[in-house]
């Protein structure tokens, strides 16, 4: 098996094992995790006095051969939609070696008040902080070495704990003043997604000079920050959900298997990615033929669009299957997957599934 395929398979297994930490957590619309008891959005835990929306301390040590990522990674089943946080890897993604052997200390990059704590079965915790009235950040996969409580103010530079040996640290940030146009149905997303920002932009210039060279992203990309809101009203691009699925369930395991996303690669954003959570077929992320219509150009007038799906890891491998997609109108699509089909000579039939915005 090709090394890149092995890495992709391992990452998918790791995502499933930690899904209760990464996905079904504090990202639900009007979340009530961590002691929220008011009708105001997200939390009633106040920001620390004098808090700032800037990271002045490196959260973990980085060294040559350690990769960081842009926003927007796709890794079904836990991350069917583009991911709203970045990763500090202990290995080198450019060499298909994402895991290392280090246990790294984790430090507070800014002063913040604890607003939520979510432990997982592996002994790690997702912990979210409020730094200012509008700016929030969070870590996931931290093995805490000190007790934390909701409302506690933790000062910049404080050691929170460490990473599990050889694995990644997640860092996310959101600002409730941020605006994004690519979430077509905003009811589908929680605050940490709707108001996402690139954490890299909030580090001091001195720290950015150390961080950005490690971000695994093609030099042809316009930035190293990434994106997750790719939806365009009236076009195929973006996220779609099984028609009878509650609007507020996309952030939890129930919703993952009922979601499909027509997005773009976090390493090379010029490359289309089809991310399947389930329903039409097994969970996976796929590339399409370069000559196929790009999602941002497909409309209700395009008819049935055939996409041969290819592994994004194993160049030159035969297609995984054929995905047929039809936009019925601006807010509804029909999708059918024929696993193992290597031509476009199939017709959509009664086996198609309906997805909506």
Q: Are residues 31 and 54 in the same domain?
A: yes
- pLDDT score of 195: 97
Both tokens of 301, joined, read 């007038």
Q: Are residues 27 and 160 in the same domain?
A: yes
Give the end of a domain, one of 229, 256, 283: 229
The per-residue pLDDT for range 277-324, each reduced to its tens digit, is: 999 999 999 999 999 999 999 999 999 999 999 999 888 899 999 999
- pLDDT score of 265: 98
Q: Are residues 27 and 75 in the same domain?
A: yes
**To the nearest 5 percent, what fractions of the chain are helix, strand and coil?**
15, 30, 55
Label residue 22 by pLDDT band (50, 70, 90). Answer: low
Q: Are residues 239 and 294 in the same domain?
A: yes
- pLDDT score of 281: 97
- pLDDT score of 32: 34
Q: Are residues 184 and 273 in the same domain?
A: no
Both tokens of 240, joined, read 């779609």
Q: Are residues 236 and 178 in the same domain?
A: no
Q: Are residues 259 and 126 in the same domain?
A: no
Cβ-Cβ contacts under 8 Å for 188 (sequence gap 6 or more) = 239, 241, 247, 248, 250, 357
Average pLDDT (262-290) is 98
Q: Which domain holds residue 43?
A: 1-229
Neighbours of 209 (CB within 10 A): 10
As a whole number of angstroms, the distance between CA 323 and CA 334 comes to 10
Q: Are residues 324 and 210 in the same domain?
A: no
Q: How many domains does the chain have?
A: 2
- pLDDT score of 303: 98
Query: The domain spanning residue 112 has which CATH number?
Result: 2.70.70.10
Cα first-last separation, the chain: 37
- pLDDT score of 24: 39
Q: Are residues 223 and 273 in the same domain?
A: no
Label residue 41 by pLDDT band (50, 70, 90). Answer: low
Label residue 182 by pLDDT band (50, 70, 90). Answer: very high
The DSSP secondary-structure symbol of 344 reads S
- pLDDT score of 163: 98
Q: Are residues 156 and 169 in the same domain?
A: yes
Q: Are residues 63 and 189 in the same domain?
A: yes
pLDDT of 55 strictly over 60: yes
Average pLDDT (127-156) is 97
The mean predicted confidence, pLDDT, of the chain is: 90
The per-residue pLDDT for range 86-120, each reduced to its tens digit, is: 999 999 999 999 999 999 999 999 999 999 999 99
- pLDDT score of 314: 86
Label residue 336 by pLDDT band (50, 70, 90). Answer: very high
Give the end of a domain, one of 229, 258, 286: 229
Q: Are residues 209 and 334 in the same domain?
A: no
Both tokens of 82, joined, read 């583009």
The per-residue pLDDT for range 234-256, each reduced to its tens digit, is: 999 999 999 999 998 888 899 99
Average pLDDT (29-34) is 37
Give the end of a domain, one of 180, 202, 229: 229
Secondary structure (3-state) at 330? coil
């Amino acid at each position: 098996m090709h090394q890149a395929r092995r890495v992709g398979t391992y990452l998918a297994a790791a995502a499933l094992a930690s899904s209760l930490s990464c996905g079904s957590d504090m990202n639900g619309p009007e979340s009530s995790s961590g002691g929220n008891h008011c009708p105001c959005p997200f939390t009633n835990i106040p920001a620390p006095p004098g808090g700032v929306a800037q990271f002045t301390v490196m959260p973990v040590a980085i060294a040559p051969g350690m990769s960081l990522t842009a926003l927007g990674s796709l890794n079904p089943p836990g991350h069917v939609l583009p991911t709203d946080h970045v990763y500090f890897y202990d290995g080198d993604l450019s060499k298909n070696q994402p895991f290392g052997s280090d246990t790294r200390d984790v430090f507070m990059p800014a002063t913040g008040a604890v607003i939520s704590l979510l432990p997982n079965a592996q002994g790690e915790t997702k912990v979210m902080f409020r730094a200012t009235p509008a700016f929030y950040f969070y870590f996931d996969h931290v093995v805490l070495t000190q007790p934390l409580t909701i409302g506690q103010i933790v000062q910049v530079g404080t050691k929170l704990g460490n990473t599990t040996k050889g694995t990644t640290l997640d860092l996310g940030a959101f600002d409730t003043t941020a605006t994004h146009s690519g979430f077509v149905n905003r009811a589908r997303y929680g605050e940490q997604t709707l108001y996402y920002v690139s954490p890299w932009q909030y580090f001091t210039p001195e720290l950015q000079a150390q961080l950005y060279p490690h971000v695994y992203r093609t030099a042809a990309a316009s930035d190293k920050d990434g994106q997750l809101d790719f939806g365009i009203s009236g076009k195929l691009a973006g996220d779609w959900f099984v028609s009878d699925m509650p609007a507020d369930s996309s952030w939890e395991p129930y919703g993952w298997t009922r979601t499909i996303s027509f997005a773009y690669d976090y390493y090379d954003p010029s490359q289309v990615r089809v991310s399947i959570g389930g329903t039409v077929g097994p969970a996976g992320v796929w590339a399409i033929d370069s000559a196929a219509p790009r999602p941002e150009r497909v409309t209700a007038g395009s008819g049935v669009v055939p996409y041969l799906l290819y592994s994004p890891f194993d160049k030159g491998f035969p297609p995984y299957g054929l995905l047929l997609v039809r936009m019925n109108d601006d807010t509804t699509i029909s999708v059918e997957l024929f696993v193992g089909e290597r031509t476009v000579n199939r017709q959509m039939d009664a086996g198609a599934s309906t997805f909506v915005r």
